[in-house]
Structure 1
């Protein structure tokens, strides 16, 4: 006589769904989205920019330098002064060429704006632009 499983034995087995591959896939997607995210670095100060009729959008991967109405030159939320522009631009353009975008307040003296442009060019920046209101 053979031992046949009774109907009562099959009722004790539970069907479970293995979600390990699903969790692995979610983590892989999470890592993919984190790696491919573009982070925009802001200057950290509010600038009242002038308007221009010929304004165009530039790349998001750029060096943003702000000049406030009080004459402070700011990068990444901290004041660097005119003398710090060259080192910041040189350090950021060593790996790849990025445009420099200057966010100057409409009341900034021209000599300060030209000084920041000159320091950026001397540091090796190929493209220096001035941000305006659209």
Structure 2
């Protein structure tokens, strides 16, 4: 048996969207928390080409040497003397590799001094970044 109700006797049917909104917020929080952000040095470096290359870890200390021999970390000029304290501080908790991005026109001496400072600070793995 079918029962027909007049339009004035029907209740309005509503869809409860609260659980869907909660689920969207939970997914949003999940994706924000699990996202890995790539750290950039803050300057554009013209890297030299290399014959062989390997993929490096995402979690690393990026230090750039520009063509005018400035040493940059996190977008600011730290100088050669600033490399050691930063590497010491960041490698205390875990062994994070150091990646040096040297410009093609940078002085080899400045690159060698940055490499030496990172080594003296206790970095176990020091790599340099090139074009692929």
* Fold shared per TM-score above 0.5: yes
Deviation (angstroms), 1:8: 4.8
**Aligned residue for 2:109?**
111
Say which SS state the counterpart of residue 103 (structure 1) adopts: strand
**Structure 1 or 2: more helix by fraction:** 1
Deviation (angstroms), 1:64: 0.6
**Aligned residue for 1:3?**
none
Deviations, residues 77-118 of structure 1 (Å, cap 9, x unaligned) = 100000000111112212221111000012222221111111
**CA RMSD for the aligned pairs?**
1.7
Query: What count of residue pairs does the alignment treat as equivalent?
Result: 129
Deviations, residues 53-90 of structure 1 (Å, cap 9, x unaligned) = 11111011111100011110000110000000011111
Structure 1: distance between partners of 2:76 and 2:15:
53
Instruction: Spell out the pairing of 1:77-116 with structure 2 (5 A cutoff).
Output: 77-116=75-114
Deviation (angstroms), 1:126: 0.8
Matched, 1:132 2:124: no
**Aligned residue for 2:44?**
46
> Structure 2: which 5+ residue stretches go unaligned?
none
With the length of structure 1 as denominator, give the TM-score of the two structures.
0.89
